[in-house]
Chains A and B, each alone.
Chain A
Amino acid sequence: MNTILEAQHLNVWYGDFHALKNVDLKIQDQKITAFIGPSGCGKSTLLRCFNRMNDLVTTAKVDGNIIYKGTNINSKSIDPIKIRSQIGMVFQKPNPFPKSIFANIAFGLKVNGFKGNMEEAVEESLTKAALWDEVKDRLDKSALTLSGGQQQRLCIARALAVRPQLILMDEPASALDPIATLAVEELIRDLSSYITIVIVTHNMQQAARVSDETVFLMVDDQRSGYIVEHDNTKQIFTQPKDERTEAYITGRFS
C-alpha cells in the first residue's frame, strides 16, 4: 500500500481559533478517500491544507508536516504555486470562469507555461471528464451556458488538464441535483483508476458509494476539529470501532 500524502501532527488556527487539532493521516495512492463528519468539524480546512489554499487566508496558521511524495510541502521554502499546479482542486459550487469552455480548460495549462498542442490537451481533458461529447460543438461558447452538473464536470476537467496525481474535492456534488450528482460520482469512480482523490462530503451515502477509505472527523467542546476514526469505507460503515462514529453514521446526531 503506497502512501501519496501524509499529514503529521497538523494543527490549524484561524486567528485565535484552533480549527484543527493534532491531525495525523495517511492518504493512499490511487484510492478515493472521503472525509465525513458534522458541519464545522474542519473537513474542508484539512483538505485546504493539502494544496496550501489556507495561505490565502491571512489569519490562518498551519503547523505540522504534510509529506507529499517524500517532500514536506507545508514548508516556507516550498512555493504553493508549484504545489497547486500538481494537486488539483474542485469546489463546492461549480466555479467556471466566465470565459469560453475551451479557455476554461486551457487556463491552467496556459498559466503553467504549457507549449504543446492546446486543442489536443483540451479534448483529452474533456474526454476524461466525460464531457467531450456534450460540448465538442460549442467549445467557444461561454462556460456559463452549461448546466450546473456540466459546469462541475467542466471544473473537474479543468483540474485534470494540468495532469495532477491528486485531486481534492470539496463537497463537489452538494450544489447539484440528484441526476447530475450521479454523473459526477460515476466520473469520480472512473478517475480513481489512475488518480488519487480526496473528497469531502456531508452525504454519508455518497461516501459509502464512492470512497475506498473514510475518515471521520468531529468537533470537541472548543469547536476544534479532530480525527475520530480512519479505516476502509466498508469497515467504517459496517463495523465502526468508535461508538461516536457509529452514532454519526446511524444518524443519531449530525
Chain B
Amino acid sequence: MTNNINEANVNIDKTIFYIWTTLSFIATILIFSIYFIAINLDPDIKNHVLLNKKFDILFSLFSLLNIINTLILIISYKKISTLNEIDKRTFKSLFFIWLIFSIIITVGIIVILVPLGKFIDNLFIKFMFFTATSLPLITNIGKMVTISSKSREIEGSIVKSIFFICAALSLITTIGIIVTLASQAWSFFIEVTPWEYLTGTNWSPILKPRSYGVLPLLGGTLLVTFIAILVAIPVGLGTAIFLSEYAPSKIRRLIKPVLEVLAGMPTIVYGYFALTFVTPQLQNVIPDLLIFNALSAGLVMGLMIIPMISSLSEDAMMSVPRSLRQGAYALGATRLEVSLRVVIPAALSGIIAAIILGISRAIGETMLVTIAAGATPRLTLNPLESIQTMTAFIVQLSLGETMHGSLEYNTIFAVGLLLFGLTLSMNFLSHWVVKKWGVRY
C-alpha cells in the first residue's frame, strides 16, 4: 500500500520534473532568439546594448549557465532515482554546484536583464521579453521545490547550503572591503610613498602645489574624537551608573527609550544641530569661534555617542551579580561605595570596551563633521578653528563625480584604508579587553 503511494508520488515528480526541464530549455532558447530579434528590430535596444559591451558577455554567460544548470540537474536527478545506491557526498557536491548556478542565474537576470526591458517600446516584444526572462527564474524555483520534496536528506543539505552562503556573505564583504581599499590604495601608493603619506604635514590633494601628508586629516579626526570622548565618558558613565544602580525600574523604562532615540537619530540631524544651533550659541560665549570648528562638532558628537557608552556600560554593570552588591552592603557600604568600589571595578572590562567602541564610532562618524567641522585640513590643537577629518575628506571628494581611476579617486581609498585600519583595530582591541580581563559570573 505505502509502496504504491510512493511510486505514484515518484511518477508525479517525474512528470513535474520533465515539465520544468523543458520549460528551462524553452526559456533559454526564447531569451536568445528574442534578444537577437529585438536587437535587429528595435534600434533603441541596439544602441543601448551596443553601448555596453559587458552586457553581451554577461548575457551569453547567463544563458550558458542556464544550460549547464539544466544538465547538472538532469544528471543529479537520475542519481536521485536510485537514491539507495549512490554515494552521498557526490550527491551533495552536485547539488551545491547546481544551487550556486541557480543563484547566479537568478541574480543575474534580476540585475541585468529585467532593467533592460524598459528600453523596449514594441509591446509584443516587451511581453515576450519578460516572459523569457522570468521563465528561468520560475523554472529554477520549480526545480528546487520538486527536487527538495524527493528526500529530506537532500532537502536538508540544500537548505543548509543556502543558509551557509548567506552567512558566508559577511566574510565576502570583509574580503571585498579589504581588497577594494587595498588595491586602489596601492595605485595611490605607486605615486605617493607610504612614508610621505603617513608623515607629511600638509594635505592638498586637489589644489596645486599638491601634497599628500595625511597627518592634518588624522589630527583633525583625533581632535574632534578627543573632545567628544571628553564629554561622553563622564556623562555616559554617569548615566550608566544612575540607570543600573539608582534608578527604579519605572524610571529606567522611561529613560531607556529616550536614549535609544538619541542613538537612532540620523547623523545628518546632529550635523544640522551642531551647525545651526550649537555653533551660534557657542559664538555668544567665545567670539573667536569660527562658523566651522572642531569644538562644536566634538561636543555634539559627544552627545551622539553618550547612548552607546551608557548602554554598553550599563549592560556590563547589570551583569555584575547582585550577590556582590549585597556582600558590600552587608559590610556597611553606602550605595555610592557599592557602585564605585564594587560594581565599576567588576564591570571594568565591559566599560573599557564600551569606551573603545565609542572612540571607534567617533573616528568613523562622517556627516556630523562634514557639516560642522569644516573642510580645512589643518594640523592644529585649537578647537576653535576649522579642520577636516578623514571621513569629511572622503565625502568632500565624493560629492563631485571624481574620475574613476584618477589619483584623486585613489586618494579617497588611501584615506579609507587608514580609517578602516584604525576602526578595525579599535574593535579588535575592545574584544580583546573583554576576553582578557572579563570575568564571567
Q: How far apart are B320's CB and chain A's nearest CB, in angstroms?
A: 9
Binds A, one of B211-219, B278-286, B334-342: B334-342
Binds A, one of B178-186, B188-196, B231-239, B322-330: B322-330
Assembled-state Cα–Cα distance A253/B345 (Å): 45
A245 within 8 A of B: no
Q: Is the CB of A112 within 8 A of B332?
A: yes
Q: Is the CB of A107 within 8 A of B323?
A: no
Assembled-state Cα–Cα distance A127/B5 (Å): 82
Encode contact with A along B238-274: 1 for CB under 8 Å, 0 otherwise: 0000000000100000000000000000000000000
- A98 touches which one: B248, B334, B337, B345 (CB < 8 A)? B345
* Chain A, 95-114, CB within 8 A of any chain B CB: 95-99, 107-108, 110-112
A41 within 8 A of B: no
* Chain B, 291-349, CB within 8 A of any chain A CB: 321, 323-324, 326-334, 337, 341-342, 345-346
A141 within 8 A of B: no
Chain A residues with CB under 8 A of B334: 81, 111
A238 within 8 A of B: no
Q: Is the CB of B331 within 8 A of A53?
A: no
A21 within 8 A of B: no
Q: Is the CB of A95 within 8 A of B326?
A: yes
Assembled-state Cα–Cα distance A51/B332 (Å): 9
Q: Is the CB of B332 within 8 A of A97?
A: no
Q: How far apart are B337's CB and chain A's nearest CB, in angstroms?
A: 5
A159 within 8 A of B: yes
Q: Is the CB of B332 within 8 A of A85?
A: yes
Assembled-state Cα–Cα distance A128/B339 (Å): 29
- A108 touches which one: B324, B332, B346, B439 (CB < 8 A)? B332
Q: Is the CB of B337 within 8 A of A111?
A: yes
- A155 touches which one: B248, B327, B337, B346 (CB < 8 A)? B327
Q: Is the CB of A53 within 8 A of B332?
A: no
Chain A: interface size category? 20 to 34
- B332 touches which one: A82, A95, A96, A144 (CB < 8 A)? A82
Q: How far apart are A159's CB and chain B's nearest CB, in angstroms?
A: 7
* Chain A, 76-97, CB within 8 A of any chain B CB: 81-86, 88-89, 91, 93, 95-97
Q: How far apart are B209's CB and chain A's nearest CB, in angstroms?
A: 58
Q: How far apart are B292's CB and chain A's nearest CB, in angstroms?
A: 47
Interface size on B, residues (CB 8 A): 19
* Chain A, 204-238, CB within 8 A of any chain B CB: none
Q: Is the CB of A95 within 8 A of B345?
A: no
* Chain B, 62-80, CB within 8 A of any chain A CB: none
Q: Is the CB of A162 within 8 A of B323?
A: no
Q: How far apart are A90's CB and chain B's nearest CB, in angstroms?
A: 8
A2 within 8 A of B: no
Assembled-state Cα–Cα distance A46/B44 (Å): 90
CB nearest to A52 among chain B residues: B329
Chain B residues with CB under 8 A of A58: 248
A56 within 8 A of B: yes
Knowing A111-B337, A112-B332, A159-B331, say if A99 contacts B324 (CB, 8 Å). no
Knowing A107-B341, A111-B341, say if A97 contacts B327 (CB, 8 Å). yes
Q: How far apart are A18's CB and chain B's nearest CB, in angstroms?
A: 23
- A111 touches which one: B331, B345, B346, B439 (CB < 8 A)? B331
CB nearest to B327 among chain A residues: A95
Chain A residues with CB under 8 A of B341: 107, 110-111
Q: How far apart are B40's CB and chain A's nearest CB, in angstroms?
A: 79
Q: Is the CB of A111 within 8 A of B333?
A: yes
30 contacts between A and B (CB under 8 A): A53-B326, A56-B326, A56-B329, A81-B334, A82-B332, A84-B330, A84-B331, A84-B332, A86-B332, A88-B330, A88-B331, A91-B326, A93-B323, A95-B326, A95-B327, A97-B342, A97-B345, A99-B345, A107-B328, A107-B342, A111-B332, A111-B334, A111-B337, A111-B341, A112-B331, A112-B332, A144-B439, A158-B331, A159-B330, A162-B332
Q: Which residues of B contact A (CB under 8 A)?
A: 248, 321, 323-324, 326-334, 337, 341-342, 345-346, 439
Shortest Cβ-Cβ A-B pairs, 3 listed: A85-B332, A89-B330, A108-B331
Q: Which residues of A contact B (CB under 8 A)?
A: 51, 53, 56, 58, 81-86, 88-89, 91, 93, 95-99, 107-108, 110-112, 144, 155, 158-159, 162
